[in-house]
Amino acid sequence: MTDYSAAIEADHWANLLWAVSAAPIVRDCALPLLSAGRQAALEEFFARQETRGHLHSALQTFLAQHPSPRLGVYFENLWAFAFEQHPDYQLLARNLPLRVPGRTLGELDFVVRHRPSGRTEHWEIAVKFYLQMGEQQWVGPGLRDRLDIKLARMRDHQLPIALGPAASAELARHGWQLSRQWALMPGRLFRPLGETQPLPAGINPAVSHYWWATPATFLRHWQTPSRDDSQDDSQKNAQEDSQNHAQKRDKDRLQTHSRSPFADGNGHSDGDSKRDNERATPQTLQQWRWVRLPKTAWLADDGYGVTGGVDADRLIADFLRQTNPHPWCVAARFQNREVSRGFIVPEDWPHRALAALREEP
C-alpha cells in the first residue's frame, strides 16, 4: 500500500503560526478563552519575516530535540517554543505535576509569566479534531475522545485543579502565585459529507466546513468524471446535457465542505471556500490530486509540502487495502493549493461511533 505520508514534508513554521493564531472550535463554552488582543500580538510577532529569518532554524532544532509521534505533544512543543521566544513571555514550567501522598492529581500544561502585566498565568491547551455524529455529538476519529467530555474535563478538572491546595503549595515552592488562567482549544470539525443541517449552538462555524465520509460516500461525491472523446456527433448534445447536470451536482456537493450554514447573506464563508466553488467543475475535478496527511500536516492549511498525489479512485483503492482499517485525514490539491480536506472512515465506523456514544463516559 502506498504511504502518502512519505511524500509530504511538514512546514513547522506554518504550523507554529497556525498554533498561535487558530480560532477555538467552540464559543461561549464557560472557558477562559485567550483574548483576541493577546492572540493577535502572538500572531503578529511570529508572522514577521525578520522573526522567521532569525528563528526558523532554531524551531527545526527544537522540534528535532523533542520528537514525538503524538499530535498533541507536537502542538505543545510549538507552544513551548513560542513562549520561549516571544519577548512578552517567560516559560516557567511545562507539564508541572501536582501530587498528594499516594497519587498524582494531574499536570498544569504551562505556567508562564506575562512580562507586560507581570502576572503569572496558567495555560491549558489542546488541539482537537472531531467528527459530527447526529446533531449534537462530536467524536474523535479514533473513537476515544468526545468534545463534550473534553470540554467538561477542562472546565471542571484541569482548570480548577490549578487553584486547589496542592497546586498552590507546588507553585509556592517555586515562588509563584497564579493570577490568571487561559484555555486554548483550536482544531477542526468535520461534518458528514452531503449533509447541511445547522450547527449546534456554541460551535464555531469558521472551523466547521470540513467533511467526513465512508469510501462509498466519498466516491459518490469526488469520483473523477469519465470522458469518452470518441463519441460521435449524434451523442454530443446528450453529453453536454449530462455535463451541465454534473456541474450542478458538483456545485451542490461542494456546499458541504465549502460553505458554512453560518455564512453571510451572500453565501460566503471564507476565501478558501469561495475559491473552491469557482474551481470544482467536472473538468477541474479530474486535475485534483488527493494525498493522505500525516498528523504533522493536520494543522495549517499550508503547513506541508507535497509531491505527487492520486485521483479519487486510487485513493479509495489504497484505503480499502488496509489490513486494520482506520480513518485517514486526506486533502485534495489543485494548482499547488489545498482545495478540500476531510476524513475517510471505514464503512462500519458510523455504527461503531454510535455504539461509543451510547457508552457511559
How many angstroms separate the Cα of 19 from the Cα of each of 22, 42, 46, 294?
6, 10, 11, 17
CA distance 228 to 224: 13
Largest CA distance in the chain: 87
Whether the pLDDT of residue 231 is over 60: the answer is no
CA distance 72 to 68: 9
| pLDDT: which is higher, 111 or 134 | 111
Q: Beta strand pairing status for 137-139 and 128-133?
A: antiparallel
CA distance 314 to 300: 25
What is the mean predicted confidence (pLDDT) over 134-163?
94
Tell me the one-letter amino acid at 76: E
Helices (H), the chain: 12-21, 36-47, 49-65, 71-85, 147-153, 165-173, 215-222, 233-258, 271-279, 282-285, 312-319, 349-358
CA distance 346 to 318: 12
High-pLDDT (> 70) share of the chain, %: 82
The whole-number pLDDT of residue 258 equals 35
Whether the pLDDT of residue 254 is over 70: the answer is no
Q: Which residues contact 154 (CB under 8 A, 6 or more apart)?
A: 31, 124, 126, 183, 185
The whole-number pLDDT of residue 277 equals 40
The whole-number pLDDT of residue 361 equals 60
What is the mean predicted confidence (pLDDT) over 199-227?
88
CA distance 285 to 270: 21
The whole-number pLDDT of residue 265 equals 29
Q: Are 341 and 210 in contact (CB under 8 A)?
A: yes
Summarised one tens digit per residue, pLDDT across range 270-319 is 334 433 444 567 778 888 999 999 999 999 988 898 888 999 999 999 99
Summarised one tens digit per residue, pLDDT across range 170-195 is 999 999 999 999 999 999 999 999 88
The whole-number pLDDT of residue 281 equals 75
Give the model's confidence band at 230: pLDDT under 50 very low, under 70 low, under 90 confident, else very high.
very low
- Average pLDDT of the chain is 84
Helices (H), 66-161: 71-85, 147-153
Tell me the one-letter amino acid at 88: D
The whole-number pLDDT of residue 222 equals 86
Whether the pLDDT of residue 39 is over 80: the answer is yes
What is the mean predicted confidence (pLDDT) over 245-273?
36
Summarised one tens digit per residue, pLDDT across range 61-105 is 999 999 999 999 999 999 999 999 999 999 999 999 998 887 888
Whether the pLDDT of residue 142 is over 70: the answer is yes
Q: Are 8 and 297 in contact (CB under 8 A)?
A: yes
| pLDDT: which is higher, 170 or 233 | 170
Phi-psi category of residue 202: left, alpha or beta, with phi > 0 → left and psi -120 to 50 → alpha: left
Summarised one tens digit per residue, pLDDT across range 315-359 is 999 999 999 999 999 999 998 899 999 999 999 999 999 998 887
pTM of the model: 0.84
